Structure 1
Amino acid sequence: MTFQQTLETQIKIAVEKLYGAKLESVELQPTRKDFEGDITAVVFPMLRVVKGNPVQIGEAIGDYLVEHVSEIEKFNVVQGFLNIVLSDSYYLNFFNSVPDFSSFGKVPQGKEALMVEYSSPNTNKPLHLGHVRNVLLGYSVAEIEKAAGKKVYKTQIINDRGIHICKSMLAWEKFGNGETPNSTDLKGDKLVGNYYVKFDKEYKKQIEALKAEGKTEEEAKAQAPLILEAQEMLRKWEAGNKETVALWNKMNGWVYSGFEETYKSIGVDFDFYYYESDTYLLGKDIIEEGLKKDVFFMKDDGSVWCDLTEEGLDEKLVLRSDGTAVYMTQDIGTAVQRVKDHPDVGGMIYTVGNEQDYHFKVLFLILKKLGYSWAKNLFHLSYGMVDLPSGKMKSREGTVVDADDLISQMTETARTISEELGKIDDFSKEEKEALYRMIGLGALKYYILKVDPKKRILFNPEESVDFQGNTGPFIQYTYARIQSILRKAADVKLSAVETFIGEQFEIHPKEKELIKIIQQFPHTIHLAAENYSPALIANYTYDLVKEFNSFYQNVPILATDNETEKAFRVKLSKAVGEVIKSAFALLGIEVPERM
C-alpha cells in the first residue's frame, strides 16, 4: 500500500470517528508551492457528508492524523485545504528503500497488448516536419505505455497506392531519364518527392494553357493530359498491369529505403508494417455482416450507410452504390485485421492530425456498434499542426521542411551554440559530432513533446537549442553536470547512506524537495499513460532539473567534511541523474555523459 492510500484510509477513519460519516473518496493533491506542506487533503468535497466549518473540520482531521500516522509531523489549514507536512525520516526511508532509480517508476508488462499507430506516410514524398511531430508523439506514447505496464506493438500503415503515387511515377517516366537514387546520390524518398513536385508544376502549366483556350478552371483541371494519364496509370495498377506494378514496386522501394534511413536518424522504430495496397479492399465483408445485424442500412441506389444521428453525428457512407469501398470501410477492415493478426490486442492508439477528429469519432462508434469488445479502448491521439516562422508548408509546391534537412539544421545550430560556449575543446572530432547531434535532436524532440499534443506549435529551431530555460539542452547539460559530480566523487562510499535515518545531520529543505519530486515519478508515468501525453513527462523532468540546480547552487555536495552528509548528497545527485535519463528515454531523447 502506498502512503497516499494509507493517508486516504486514515482520513476516512478520522471522518467516521469524529463525525459518524462515511467518505466515498478523498481528494489529495500536491501542496501548492506558496504554502507549507507536502500533501494537501481537500476538505470541501467532504462537506457533502460532514456539515460544519471547513477550517474546523480540517483542524480536527489534522489533529487525528498527527496522533495516528507516524509519518506526519504537523499540518496547517488554509480555508478548506488541509496541508500535511511529512517528516524528514519519511522521505529518507523512501529514498533508501529504492535499490535502483534507473528503473524506478516502471512496472512489469501485462498480458493485454496495445497497438500504437504513428507516421503512416504517403510514398510520394519524404517525411517532413509534420511527420516529425507525429512520429515523436507516437513513439513516446508507446514507450510511456510500456513503462506503465502495457505490452505495446508499434505499427504504421503506409499509404502506398492511389493517385498521389501515380503522379510521381508518371513524372519520373516522362522527365526522369532513368535516374535512380544511386545515379543522383539522393535518398529515394527525396528523388520520388522531386517528381511529385515536377508533376504539379507541369500540370499547372497545362491548366493555364487550357484556360487560355477558353476552358474554365474546373474543366482545365479535369481535362489536362497529365491528370488523365495519371488516372489511367492508377486504373492499370488496380488491374494488375505488369509494367505499371513493376514501376510502382521500384519507386516505392526507393521511398521505403529513404524512410528507414530517416526513422533511424530520428531514433524511432516499428514492430509491424501495414500497407494500404494490401488493406484497401478490407472491410467489405464486415459491411455485409453489419447489414445483417442492422448496424448499416442500404439506400435505394444500393449504397450502404451507418446512421449515427442518435449519437449527434450524421449518416456515414461505408460502401458506394457501385460496391466500392471508401476510406472508412478500409479503416474498419484494417482495425479488425490487426486484432486477427495479434489476438492479444485490447486497444489501439491512432496518432493522426486533428483534421481527422471527426473521422475517428465515426470509426470508433461504428466499431462499437459492430460489437467488438476492444472498440471501447480506441483512442485518437489528435495533434495540432507545426508551423514555422516562415509560414505554412505545402508539399506539392516543394515548400515543406524536409525531416532530414531539419535534423541537419538542428545539428548545425547545436554545433554553433556549443562552440560559442567553448566547453568541449578537449573532445575528439568524433565525440563533438556525436554530441552536436545528440543536442540537436534532443532540442527538437523536447521542444515538440513538451507541448500538449492538441496545441498547435510554432517551431523555432534557434529557441529550442537554448542552454537556459525549459529546453532539451538545458536538461541534458544538467545531466552532464551530475555525471561530472559523480566522477569527482568516485571515492565516496555510498554505502554510508544505507543506514542513515536522520540523527547525523539535519536534512536540508532542498534535499527534501528533490526527494519529494523523485517520489512523484511513478505517478507522473501513470498520468502520462492515462492521458497519452508526453508533455507531462517533459515538464516533470524540467521541474526536477530546476530543483536540482537550485540544490546545486545552495547546498555543498562535495565541499563538506561530514562523510555521511557527502555520501547522501552524492547518492541523491546520482538518483536525480538516473531519473532524468529514464524520463528522457520515454521521450526518445539521449543524454550525454560530458558536455
Structure 2
Amino acid sequence: MNIEQEILKFTKKAAQELYSAEIPDNQINLQPTRSEFEGEITLVVFPFLRFSKKSGEETAQEIGKYLQEHIEDVVSFNVIKGFLNLSIAHKYWLNLFNEALLNPNFGFANANGKKVMVEYSSPNTNKPLHLGHVRNNLLGYSVAEILKAAGYDVIKVNLVNDRGIHICKSMLAWQKWGNGETPETSGLKGDHLVGKYYVVFDKEYKKQIDELKLSGKTEEEAKKLAPLILEAQEMLQKWEAGDPEVIQLWKMMNDWVYAGFGITYKNLGVDFDKYYYESNTYLLGKDTIESGLAKHVFFKKEDGSVWIDLTADGLDQKLVLRGDGTSVYITQDLGTAEMKYADFGMEESIYVVGNEQDYHFKVLFLILEKLGMSWAKGLHHLSYGMVDLPSGKMKSREGTVVDADDLIDEMIETAKEKTESLGKTNDFNEDDKVVLYRQIGLGALKYFLLKVEPKKRLLFDPAESIDFQGNTGPFIQYTHARIKSLLSKANYNQQVSNIDVDLDPTSLELILSISKFPNEIKSAAKSYSPALIANYLYDLAKLFNKFYHEVPPIVKEENEVLKQHRLNISALTASVLKKGMQLLGIEVPERM
C-alpha cells in the first residue's frame, strides 16, 4: 500500500472515530503540498467541517494528530487554515525511489484486460497531409501510446476517405491534363502529384464558372452547369457502377497517394494496426437504418427519406437516409462503428477528429445508444482545435494550407540553423548531425503541438518551438543529453540500490517529482491528454537542472555513497524523461 492509500484509509477511520462519520473516497482530497509550505502531501479538511462542527484549523489539528499516531511514515504535520500538510519520512521516499530504480517498467501499468481503439489520421486521397493532419496524427499516436502504458490493449486504426466527388476531381484533371505523368516521371511524391491535379481541376472549374456567369448564369447555376463538375459527377456514377476503366484509374492514383502517405507517416513516426477504407464501408449502415425503423427509433417522411428526431435531447431532426435510398455520412458512420466493434469487441473507441465535427459525433453516439448498442457508452470524440501559423512564416505548395512534408523539412532545417549557431555540434560527424537535427526538429514540432490541451486552438511558431530554454522539446532533449554526459563522465554503469542517505531538499523535490510519473500516465490516459505528460516532463527537466546546479559537482563528490545516490537520481530522471518523451512519439538524443 502506498502512502496516499494509507492516508486515505486512516483519514476515513479518523472521521469514524473522531466524528462518527462515514466519508466517501471521492470527498477525501489529497494534493501535493505547495512548495512554500513544509510537507509533501496535503489533505483538504473543509469537507469534514460539517461532521466535526469545529473550525478548519481545529479539525485539521485533530486529524493530523490521528494520522501521525496511526501511520508510521507521517513524521510531522502543520496546518494552514483548512489545509493539513503532512511530512512523510525520508525513508519512505528513499524506499520508493529504490523500488523505481530497480523496476525497468517503472511508470507503466500491468495489462488491465481492457481493449480500446484509437482512430486517427483519416486522410482524403485527393491531396497530401497538411498541418491539421499533423496535429491529428500526433495526438492519435500519443494517446494510443499513453493508453498502452496505462495497461490497455490498444488498436490503432486509420479510416481512409478514398472515394467521392473530390477524388474524382483529381482523377478527371489527371486524365485531361496529365499527359501520363507519374510520380516516377515527375519526381513528385504520389500524394503531391494527385494533389497537384486537384488544384488544376479547381482552377479550370473556376474558369468555366466565370465564363458561364458572363453568359448570364447566376453563381449557383454556373457551379452546377460547369462541364467539368458534370463530368466529375458522371465519373463518380461510373465508379459506383464498377466501370473497369474508372476503377483502374482510381486504383492507380490511390496507390500513388498511399505510397506518399506512407513516407509522411514514417517521417512523423506514426503507425496503424488496421486500415479501413470508405470505398469498402460507404454502403454500410443501411441495414442499421432498417432495424432502427422497425424499432421506431427512426421515421420516414413522405418523400421516403429516413430521419431521427433528437429535439427532446436538445439537438434537432437528423437525416439518416435520403429519399432515393442513398447514404449520408452518418449512415456509413453507423455501419462502420458496428463493423469495428464486430471486428475487435473493444470496451472503448476514441475518434480523433477536429472540433468542427463536434455536433456530428454527438448525434452519432446518441443514435447508437438509442439503437440499443451496448458498447455505445464507450465511444469518445477526442475533439481538437485548429493550428494557426504566424502569417508569412511558411508558404504551402498549393498556397492555401501548410503541407506536412514541407513543415517537417522546415523544422529539420530550423533545428540545423539554431544548433549550429550555438556551436553545439562542432564535434559531431556529418551522419550524426543529420540524425540529431531530425530528432531536434521533429521533437520540437511534436512537443509544441502536444503540450497544449487538445481542445485548444494553438498558434504554432516553428522558430519559437526550437528553443533550448523554456517549455520546449529541445529543452527536455538537452536535459536528457546532459544527464547522459554526466553519467558517462562518472563511469556510471549500474544502479546500487538501498543506499541510506539524508536527503537534501532539492534531491527530495526531484524524487517526489519522479514518483508522480505513474499517476501522470493514469491521468493522461483517463483524460486522453498528452499535454499532461508533456508539461510533467518539462517540470521534471526543470527540477533536474535545479538539482544539477544546487548540489556540489556530482562527479567530484568524495563521499562515494552520496555520489552513487545522486548518480542514481540522475539515471532515473533520464529514464523517466526518455519513457515520457516516447509516449509523445519523441526521440531523446544521447548527446547534444
Which range, TM-score by smaller chain? over 0.9
- How far did 1:364 drift? 0.6
What amino acid is the match of 1:574? A
Which amino acid letter does the alignment assign opposite residue 504 of structure 2?
H
| Counterpart residue identity of residue 222, structure 1 | K
**Separation of aligned partners in 2, 1:232 and 1:517:** 63
Q: In the alignment, is residue 28 of structure 1 matched against residue 30 of structure 2?
A: yes
- Aligned: 1:562 with 2:567: no
- TM-score, L = length of structure 1: 0.97
Which residue is equivalent to 2:470? 469
The letter of the residue matching 1:37 is G
1:90 lines up with 2:86 in the alignment = no
Alpha-carbon distance in 2 for matches of 1:189, 1:84: 59
Question: Aligned residue for 2:223?
Answer: 221
Measure the CA separation in 2 of the matches of 1:94 and 1:109: 22
Deviation at 1:302, TM superposition (A): 1.6
Q: Whole-Å Cα distance in 2 between the matches of residues 388 and 21 of structure 1?
A: 56
Partner amino acid, structure 1, of 2:70: H
Task: Find the aligned partners of 2:178 and 2:218 in 1 and give their Cα distance.
Answer: 31
Greater displacement, 51-60 / 441-450: 51-60
Separation of aligned partners in 2, 1:137 and 1:494: 35
- Measured against aligned partners, the alpha-carbon deviations of 1:557-594 in whole angstroms (never above 9, x if no partner) come to 22211100000000100000000000001000000001
Q: Deviations over 1:208-251 (max 9, x none)?
A: 11111121111111111111111111111111111111100000
Which aligned pairs between 1:163-202 and structure 2 lie closer than 5 A?
Answer: 163-202=165-204
Q: Which residue of 2 aligns with 1:37?
A: 39
> 2:417 corresponds to which residue?
416
Contact 1:438 1:592 in 2 (8 A): yes
Q: Which runs of 4+ in 1 moved over 4 A?
A: 391-397
- 2: distance between equivalents of 1:24 and 1:313? 36
CA deviation string 1:163-190 (max 9, x = no partner) = 1011101111111111000001110000
Distance 1:579 1:393 in 2: 35
Q: Which residue is 1:364 aligned to?
A: 365
Distance 1:416 1:394 in 2: 19
Secondary structure of 2:532's counterpart equals helix
**Does residue 1:16 correspond to 2:43, yes or no?**
no
Matching residue of 1:460: 461
What secondary structure sits across from 1:372 in the alignment?
coil
Moved more, 218-227 or 544-553: 218-227
Contact 2:118–2:351 (Cα < 8 Å) also in 1: yes
Q: Distance in 2 between matches of 1:316 and 1:47?
A: 50
Residues 79-88 or 125-134, more deviating: 79-88
CA distance in 2, matches of 1:89, 1:532: 34
Matched-pair identity in %: 62
2:128 aligned with 1:130: no
Q: Do the aligned partners of 2:126 and 2:195 also contact (CA within 8 Å) in 1?
A: yes
Q: Find the counterpart in structure 2 of residue 7 from structure 1.
A: 7
Check conservation: 2:412, 2:440, Cα contact below 8 A: yes
Does structure 1 residue 266 correspond to structure 2 residue 268?
yes
CA separation of 1:100 and 1:135: change in aligned 2, threshold 3 A: farther
Contact in 2 for aligned 1:389/1:460 (Cα 8 Å): yes
Task: Answer yes or no: is 1:445 the counterpart of 2:446.
Answer: yes
Query: Unmatched 5+ residue regions in structure 2?
Result: none
Q: Which residue of 1 aligns with 2:480?
A: 479
Letter in structure 1 aligned against 2:568:
K
Determine the C-alpha separation between the residues in 2 that align with 1:494 and 1:366: 56
2:112 to 100, 110, 125: 110
Partner amino acid for 1:235?
Q
Within 5 Å, which residues of 2 pair with 1:177-576? 177-343=179-345, 345-390=346-391, 398-490=399-491, 494-495=495-496, 498-502=497-501, 506-556=502-552, 557-576=554-573
Give, in whole Å, the separation in 2 of the partners of 1:240 and 1:100: 61
- Whole-angstrom distance in 2 between the partners of 1:279 and 1:493: 54
The letter of the residue matching 1:5 is Q
Q: Is the 1:197–1:395 contact (alpha carbons within 8 Å) kept by the matching residues of 2? A: no
Residue 109 of structure 1 deviates from its aligned partner by 2.3
Structure 2 length normalisation: TM-score? Answer: 0.97
Q: How far apart are the structure 2 equivalents of 1:528 and 1:494?
A: 29
The AA in structure 2 aligned to 1:526 is K
Tell me if the contact between 1:447 and 1:472 (Cα under 8 Å) persists in the aligned partners.
yes
Q: Are the equivalent residues in 2 in contact too, given 1:518–1:576 (CA < 8 A)?
A: yes
**2: CA distance, partners of 1:121 / 1:109:** 31
Partner of 2:50: 48
Tell me the matched-pair count. Answer: 589
Please give the alpha-carbon distance, in whole angstroms, between the structure 2 residues aligned to 1:472 and 1:532.
Answer: 20
Contact 1:102 1:582 in 2 (8 A): no
Instruction: Quote the offset at 1:51 in angstroms.
Output: 1.5
d(CA) in 1 for partners of 2:452, 2:236? 40
Paired with 2:394 and 2:354, the residues of 1 have a C-alpha distance of 15
Contact 1:93 1:501 in 2 (8 A): no
In structure 2, C-alpha distance between the alignment counterparts of 1:247 and 1:50, rounded to whole Å: 78
- Would you say the 8 A contact 2:397–2:403 is kept in 1? no
Query: Deviation of residue 20 (structure 1)?
Result: 2.2
Report the alpha carbon displacement of residue 298 of structure 1 after superposing the two structures with TM.
Answer: 1.6
Shift of 1:22: 2.0
Q: 1:586 to 1:13 in 2, by over 3 A?
A: same
1:492, CA displacement in angstroms?
7.2
CA distance in 2, matches of 1:489, 1:294: 74
What SS class does the counterpart of residue 108 from structure 1 fall into? Answer: coil
8 Å Cα contact 1:493-1:567 kept in structure 2:
no
Corresponding residue number in structure 1 for 2:68: 66
Which amino acid in the other structure matches residue 22 of structure 1? E
